[in-house]
A and B are shown apart, each in its own frame.
Chain A
Amino acid sequence: MVEKNEKSTKRVHPGVKEMEKSLAEGKCSRREFLRTTTLLGISVTTAYSLASSILGKEILPDLISTAHAGQKKGGALKWGMQVMEMADPATYSWTEKSIVARNIVEYLVETGPDNITRPNLAESWEASDDLKTWIFHLRKGVKWSNGDDFGADDVVFNFTRWLDPKTGSSNLGLFNAMLEETGEKDKKGNPVKRMIKNAVEKVDAHTVRLNLKSAVLSIPENLYNYPTAIVHRDFEKEGGDLTKNPVGTGPYALAQFKVGEIAVLKKRKETYWGDEAFLDEIRFMDLGQDAGAYLAAIASKQVDGIYMLDLTTLEAAKNIPGIKVVSIPSTQTGVIRMKVNKKPFDDIRVRKAVQKCCDVERQLKIAHQGLGVVAEHHHVASIHPEYFKLPQLKPDIAGAKKLLKEAGYPDGIELTCNVGNTDGVWEQNSVAVLKEDCAKAGINIKMNVMPSAQYWDVWTKAPLSLTSWTHRPLAVMVLGLAYRAGVPWNESSYNNSKFDAALDEAEATLSVEDRRVKMEKVEKILQDDAVMVQPFFRSVFTAVSDKVVGFEMHPTRYYLFRKVSLA
């Protein structure tokens, strides 16, 4: 079947055959089949046709916005969202920055709201049988806005830059299989890493090969992580600032940009390589940090949509005529992580005591109005395809007291938990619920609520704090970013070679079923080491005006406006 469709153009990964077999035998779901086969380089159309053929019924794409009949061209969309400095896409740490930038610069792939990864600047890709070599075939005929041709040199430049520790990009954690240790250690004792020579190679003007030291399935999905936008090969030579020199391949050009006020994008005059965008102009209007201001703006039709709907304004928004509330389940979550190399959390008994106090059901109900799913303190969600269900940890106050006593705190312990409400006040509420639960065991948590921007100054340093993590389609992606030894975003300073090895093994496993089995070990190590209190995964919301057509809610809020039009 596959051969008939794609053999004439390129080689098909043997893993696709395995997935076909798994789907036919009911060992993997339709979505897992689609996701995995597309990651292995099968086109989305072929993957859907294969699934339809195996299951004997027509499978149509869901959650994908296609051009609606009668969508009008023209008009300006007004979008309420904080306008932040967005000079260097490789160092972005806020999704909002990428929402403006992704209309100017683009990604090699695109992972849709259905978690399926599709070609974008990369027309197709193929992986070796051992998943250690990935070849990306880049789209031909794509032009940068300065007139240059897009090609392999651009991609090689970006990979080299991301994987240079001097750049300070979080992408280091995503592409660990392209790094080697230098033998040196930084001041924190973490090994210093650099890119392996020839880890990224230009094969020809439109082909790039990645050579990994270990197998990784999620390479294409990693390439839609928000700091992986492809900038022009002369980005650094031209000053390294996208706002001052906004050269891109996307359908829009930056016409006006003022941090904290406004960003205006105008449709590029030159022909865009993809489908023509509908809107002539997109205006991102900064309405500050007050959730109420965003609701007031959309209610009074000052904006057509907003970046996010806070839980505090959700009910009010539902009652306002002329706007629709859009929601989607996600793996966004609040992780109350404990820094394992700082007192008192360098003692696992203290960490376990805190974890034992947590009542996850109560957390979800009170902190997030029950809108989400409970979790098991290992940062893998039930909607991740490789999720392995571990037994739920029930609150055990007596057990917590016993552990505290053994750790040398028979009279209880005083802790301070930082929280920045970077994604809403539910973060603060989550810490408040934990505070109440912990008080029963003599753990007195002092809440240190700080402004969101200041929180990011301390998020990797404070002994105890709640960090909001965004959605990632695969669990191995987020675990690699947050818990692998020495990576920039490892905020808990967790360092366990057994965990790293287990994660490497899971990352290298193609079959979802087999990967799920391997994830049991990964999840168990994290849970047993009590690195975090992670009570729930939350649903996310936003609001758009009725006149907005074709808007697609995304679990990571990676909004794309080129398919959006105004009625």
Chain B
Amino acid sequence: MVLLLLKRIGFMIFTMIVVSMILFMLLETGLTGDPATRVLGNFASDEQKELWRDQHGYNQPVIVRYAKWLGNFATGDLGTSIRYKGPVKDVLLPRLWSTAILGFWTFAIMIPLSLTLGVLSGMKEGSILDRTISVFGILTTSVPEFASAVFFSALFVFGLKWLPGTSSMAGGFEFKQLLLPAMVLVVYDFGYVARMTRASMAEVMTSQYIRTSVLKGLPYKQVILKHALRNALIAPFTVIMLQINWLLSGVIVVEFFFAYKGFGALLLEASLNNDIALLEACAMVAVVVAVSSQTIADIGYTFLNPRIRFS
């Protein structure tokens, strides 16, 4: 078990180093334009640019620069943002926190809802309830976020006038502003998790040990809660862990549409504005979260599934 943990963590670090190298090569070696021009602007003289390159170590060999960059990154120095004219860390952390709030409420609604409906659906495969939930799940998942965002906006902002149209939180945090983006995310993601849960539950329900439990006279409630549910939740657990990655970078559309100042919008701004330090930091955070959540999912899966744990 310890070996497995060490292997996973080792692989996680290796993946992050490889991604950091690719990122560095793409963004710091002039492949996407001259960094000096990006920082100093188009009207800067050649002398000014040369001085800047010298001051910021851009005249050193790439490998030396990469080592320094990685060292700074590991010690929490994420560089300076061109767009925000300040340390990347100061911009990044509040944005991550904003997305975490949005993610928390999305998960808080979506997970119980999709698990409950998925289990109910999978308990009696082919029933009216199953078909209704399945059709609804397919429908919501197949509507892209930008379309449901427009639909909800037209309905709740322009039509019923119930909700604010944007979620910039410029006047401070307001829960009302969180509703529309969270609603779009829940609707989009709910169908996917619910259908995974349904499939898993339906499979478990057809297994021999469940049939045995029913035939030996155990109450149906006990069969479901004690025997079926635990095994049926293994697959959705992995899916839910993957949704953390999706929430972090996949919310770009929703954050852009509702002007929500989160991590997704920041990633987009960084790329649109050639803000290399910010882009690197955002990309690395996304990688760290993706790799970490995947590692946790793998470890969690091992705990939940004795066949893996004891093999």
- A residues whose Cβ falls under 8 Å from a Cβ of B: 78, 85, 87, 91, 165-166, 168-170, 186-187, 241, 243, 259-262, 283, 285-290, 292-293, 295-297, 299-300, 302, 320, 451-454, 456-457, 459-460, 488
Contact = CB atoms under 8 A, between A and B. Distances in A.
19 contacts: A87-B85, A166-B45, A166-B48, A260-B269, A261-B170, A261-B261, A283-B171, A286-B259, A288-B259, A293-B166, A296-B166, A297-B168, A297-B259, A300-B157, A452-B272, A453-B273, A454-B274, A457-B37, A457-B38
A193 to B, nearest CB: 13
Contacts of A460: 42
B168 A85 contact: no
Nearest to A288: B259
B165 A293 contact: yes
B38 A290 contact: no
A287 B166 CA distance: 7
A91 B41 contact: yes
Contacts of B271: 451
A293 B257 CA distance: 6
A85 B91 CA distance: 13
Nearest to A293: B259
A477 to B, nearest CB: 19
Given A259-B85, A452-B272, 18 more contacts: A166-B45, A168-B40, A168-B44, A241-B85, A243-B85, A285-B171, A289-B256, A290-B256, A292-B153, A293-B258, A295-B165, A296-B157, A300-B161, A300-B165, A300-B166, A453-B273, A460-B42, A488-B42
Nearest to B258: A293
Contacts, number: 108
B11 interface: no
A283 B171 CA distance: 9
Given A85-B83, A261-B170, A454-B272, A300 B164 contact: yes
A200 B155 CA distance: 60
B10 to A, nearest CB: 38
A480 to B, nearest CB: 17
B165 A457 contact: no
Given A290-B257, A297-B165, A453-B273, A283 B170 contact: yes
A286 B257 contact: no
Contacts of A456: 42
B6 to A, nearest CB: 41
A287 B170 CA distance: 9
Contacts of A299: 157-158, 165
B110 interface: no
A186 B41 CA distance: 17
Nearest to A241: B85
Among B40, B43, B83, B164: residue with most chain A CB under 10 A? B43
Interface SS of A by simple majority: loop
Interface string B141-170: 000000000100100011001011110101
Contacts of B71: none
A286 B260 CA distance: 10
Contacts of B281: none
A288 B256 contact: yes
A290 B158 CA distance: 17
Interface in B231-265: 256-259, 261, 265
A454 B85 CA distance: 17
B165 A261 contact: no
Most buried by A among B37, B168, B265, B273: B168
B303 interface: no
Contacts of B269: 260
B46 A187 contact: yes
A293 to B, nearest CB: 4
A289 B271 CA distance: 14
B158 A262 contact: no
Contacts of B45: 165-166, 186
Contacts of B85: 85, 87, 241, 243, 259
Nearest to A489: B43
A243 B170 CA distance: 18
Interface in B258-295: 258-259, 261, 265, 269, 271-274
Contacts of A451: 271-273
Contact of A320 (B84, B158, B164, B257): B158
A89 to B, nearest CB: 14
Contacts of A289: 256, 272
A293 B255 CA distance: 11
A285 B170 contact: yes
Contact of A261 (B37, B42, B46, B168): B168
B33 interface: yes
A292 B170 contact: no
Given A85-B85, A87-B85, A290 B259 contact: yes
A299 to B, nearest CB: 6
B110 to A, nearest CB: 24
